[in-house]
Every structure is written in structure tokens, then in C-alpha cells.
């Protein structure tokens, strides 16, 4: 069965705020002792922003499917790179439906629509090939304690010069 998934800016679907904060915190911050309140405060700043940061939510009606964000910086080791697609999370029951690919593309297109020439993303070595399949190009390997690969998506090379994606888009998964 094919279902329709919508990607919306989080500020238009704030009912997903707590769930997204929880998922981001558990996946990347809780293991390092960062309190959940830190993540919620960072996300609140994004709700008030007209540019960056910006969080997107994938959903089937009122059912949360996943999230991705565009943020100014994702690696303290590389402050010269900005902006980044980060905090990509897909609920387990929605995985293998290409929703993550749609969220990553949507977030990257949003960032490029702000007029920046390049968007960045980090990947663990096991996930690098997924991003390369999506058109991202590796520019550095073995970065930081987690041995990240840094990838870029260039507006011109990807044929993405044009308008920012609509605030909410739907697709069949």
C-alpha cells in the first residue's frame, strides 16, 4: 500500500516538536550527557527563525514519520563549513520507504534556496554510500572522534539552482 507523506516546516506543525526533540536528543545528545532542555531550547530558536535553523517534519496526517534540519554548524572541528543538513531521523516503522531521502533533499534544497552555494552533511562511514547515491560528494574523511565523512551538495552541480521548495510538499512513499 502506498501512503502519502507530507514534509512540512516544523513551525507549521508544532505538535511534533516534543517528539522531534526527544528523538534528536536520544539519538545524538543523551549518550554524551547533554540535557534534553538544551535541545528544546535550540529547537525553539529555530521555530522563531525565518532562515536558519529550520527543522522539517515528515508525517502522514497526524502520524510522525521523521525529521531533518538545516543548521548553521554541525561540527565544531569545521566551523568554516555552513550550512549543514543534520538531525535526520526516521521512525523505525517508516524506514525503507525513501522518506529519509526526501527529507534530506528537501532540507538541502531549502538551504540552497537561501542563496548559499554549498550545503554540508556528516556521515558515518557505513552511511556514506547512501549520500553519494543521492548526489553528495565526499570532501573529507576521518573527521572527529566518530570518523565522520563530510559531504557537500553544490547547487550548480546538482542542477538545483532555482526557488526554495514549497513550505509543505507531499509524496508517495
| Whether residue 53 has a cis bond before it, omega within 30° of 0 | yes
β-pair partners for 55: 69
Per-residue pLDDT band for 51 (boundaries 50, 70, 90) equals: confident
User: pTM for the complete prediction?
Assistant: 0.87
pLDDT at residue 1 is higher than 50 = no
Assess contact for 17 and 10: CB atoms under 8 A: yes
Grid cell, residue 130, equals 547512501
Per-residue pLDDT band for 76 (boundaries 50, 70, 90) equals: confident
Angle at 97 between CA 96 and CA 98, to 5 degrees: 95
Half-sphere exposure of 95 (CA within 13 A, CB side): 6
Assess contact for 67 and 43: CB atoms under 8 A: no
> In angstroms, rounded to a whole number, what is the distance separating the alpha carbons of residues 81 and 61?
35
pLDDT at residue 47 is higher than 50 = yes
Q: Which of 131, 149, 130, 127 is nearest to 140 (CA)?
A: 149
**Given this model, what pLDDT does residue 39 score?**
93
Assess contact for 24 and 35: CB atoms under 8 A: no
> In angstroms, rounded to a whole number, what is the distance separating the alpha carbons of residues 156 and 165?
16
CA distances in angstroms from 73 to 13, 22, 120, listed in the order given: 24, 20, 9
**Given this model, what pLDDT does residue 162 score?**
47
Domains and CATH numbers, the chain: 4-172 (3.40.630.30)
Q: Give per-residue pLDDT as tens, 113-170.
A: 898 999 999 999 998 999 999 889 999 999 988 899 999 998 765 565 544 444 555 5
Instruction: Classify strands 54-60 and 4-9 as parallel, antiparallel or unpaired.
Output: antiparallel
Amino acid at each position: 500500500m502506498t501512503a502519502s507523506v507530507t514534509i512540512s516546516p516544523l513551525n507549521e506543525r508544532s505538535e511534533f516538536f516534543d517528539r522531534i526533540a526527544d528523538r534528536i536528543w536520544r539519538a545524538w545528545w543523551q549518550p554524551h550527557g547533554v540535557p534534553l532542555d538544551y535541545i528544546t531550547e535550540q529547537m525553539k530558536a529555530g521555530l522563531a527563525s525565518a532562515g536558519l535553523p529550520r527543522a522539517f517534519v515528515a508525517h502522514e496526517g497526524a502520524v510522525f514519520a521523521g525529521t531533518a534540519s538545516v543548521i548553521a554548524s554541525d561540527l565544531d572541528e569545521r566551523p568554516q563549513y555552513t550550512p549543514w543538513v543534520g538531525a535526520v531521523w526516521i521512525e523505525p516503522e517508516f524506514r525503507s520507504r525513501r522518506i529519509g531521502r526526501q527529507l534530506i533533499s528537501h532540507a538541502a534544497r531549502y538551504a540552497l534556496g537561501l542563496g548559499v552555494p554549498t550545503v554540508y552533511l556528516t556521515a558515518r562511514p557505513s552511511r556514506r554510500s547512501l549520500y553519494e547515491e543521492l548526489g553528495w560528494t565526499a570532501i573529507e574523511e576521518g573527521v572527529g572522534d566518530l570518523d565522520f565523512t563530510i559531504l557537500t551538495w553544490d547547487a550548480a552541480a546538482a542542477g538545483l539552482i532555482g526557488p526554495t521548495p514549497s513550505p509543505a510538499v507531499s509524496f508517495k512513499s
